[in-house]
Amino acid sequence: MAHHADDDHETFLLNLSRGTGLSGLSGMANQNGFICRPLLPFSRETIEGWAQDHDIVWRQDRSNDSDYYERNFIRHHVANGLKQMKRPWLKAFRTTTQNLQQAETLLRDYLNLVTGDVLTKSDQGAVIDLERLNEHPHAKSLLTAVLKPYGFTAWKDIPDLIEAESGKYIDTPTHRIQKDRKTLIMIPHKVQESTKESILIQKGQNSVEGPVTLRINLVSQWEKPLSNEIYVDASLVSFPLCLRPWKSDDIFHPFGLEGKKQLGKYFKDEKLSLASKNKIWVLESNGAIIWVVGYRLDDRFKITGQTTDIMHFAVL
């Protein structure tokens, strides 16, 4: 690209006038990925002089003469005014931006170290350990930087979010950032949306593919189930079945216990994190929960001495 030293100078002043951070004052990079700026060390005056000496004609954009645009106003009334100073202003500016770029690189390296210490990523999002974060100086400032890639810009809300009770959340354009005990969980909106739809399972269907991969079949006998499977009395199951994300008002009868229990209370007793709860599905028959998938069978569907037909469900 043909950006030159004056463009870089104007961008610095424009960002400064709008309010910016270190990255906004560090100037344009000589190379950013596939973008190269070979003319960045040279001023507009130097480039125009070289073009005239070599009889090269260039086109001048008339809109550059108008003060209607902020950049033009800064060019005509601020940048040109600074150039009238006796010291070589553009050279001094270039030295300043190089110093700021070095400072930004140092800060970025430190932030990467802190992020690696406090943040854990998964397919479902990311988790920040607030206790680990608080071991570092200037924890709140660090948190603003760690959260920036997740679309977080409401910096004034950070103290409230850190000190909030579990369950409080803030939505960004890309993520939901939710407090869970001593952690913050970042869940992409696409993950949340992908788990909103229910799946109907018809009679005779022996598998489900999707957010939850389920296998269904009739068996002649049952064995002690693993955590990812259940055996139920097939005569108590009514099709179509519904596989769906759990809801806060769901109630089931935990296997082996008397009475019923609200799922939210059950999860609290099990000390499940918000990240874990956000991934839980339930399997229901005719409005009654058969299985909190991967966690607990409903006692109403258990196998008894009178059971003749056994149905097996397994999550892969």
Q: What is the DSSP-derived secondary structure letter of residue 62?
A: G
d(CA 20, CA 275): 34
**96-108 residues labelled b (16+ CB within 10 A) or e (exposed):** ebeebbeebeeee
d(CA 141, CA 125): 22
d(CA 29, CA 279): 42
Listed in sequence order, the DSSP H helices in the chain are 5-18, 22-25, 44-53, 70-74, 80-83, 89-118, 130-133, 139-147, 158-163, 189-194, 263-269, 274-277
Domain covering 198-315 in this structure, CATH number: 3.50.40.10
Domain covering 123-192 in this structure, CATH number: 3.30.465.60
CB 264 within 8 A of CB 270: no
Q: Model's pTM, two decimal places?
A: 0.58
Same fold for the pair 5-109 and 123-192: no
What residues pair up with 139 in beta bridges, in sequence order?
none
pLDDT of residue 191: 58
Token readout for 208 is 């489900």
Token readout for 80 is 């040109």
SS3 256: coil
pLDDT of residue 86: 79
Torsion 305-306-312-315 (CA) sign = negative
Q: Which contiguous run of DSSP H or E holds residue 311? A: strand 310-315
Distances in Å between the alpha carbon of 262 and those of 143, 237, 242, 254? Answer: 35, 21, 19, 10
- What residues does each domain of the chain span? 5-109, 123-192, 198-315
Thinking of the domain 5-109, which architecture would CATH place it in?
3-Layer(aba) Sandwich (3.40)
pLDDT of residue 87: 80
pLDDT of residue 62: 85
Q: What is the DSSP-derived secondary structure letter of residue 75?
A: I
CB 8 within 8 A of CB 27: yes
pLDDT of residue 21: 86
Residues of the chain with pLDDT under 70: 123-124, 190-196
d(CA 225, CA 221): 12
Q: What is the DSSP-derived secondary structure letter of residue 76?
A: I
Token readout for 123 is 């397919």
Contacts (Cβ under 8 Å, ≥6 apart) of 269? none
pLDDT of residue 208: 92
Q: What is the DSSP-derived secondary structure letter of residue 254?
A: B
229-246 pLDDT, tens digit per residue, is 999 999 999 999 999 999
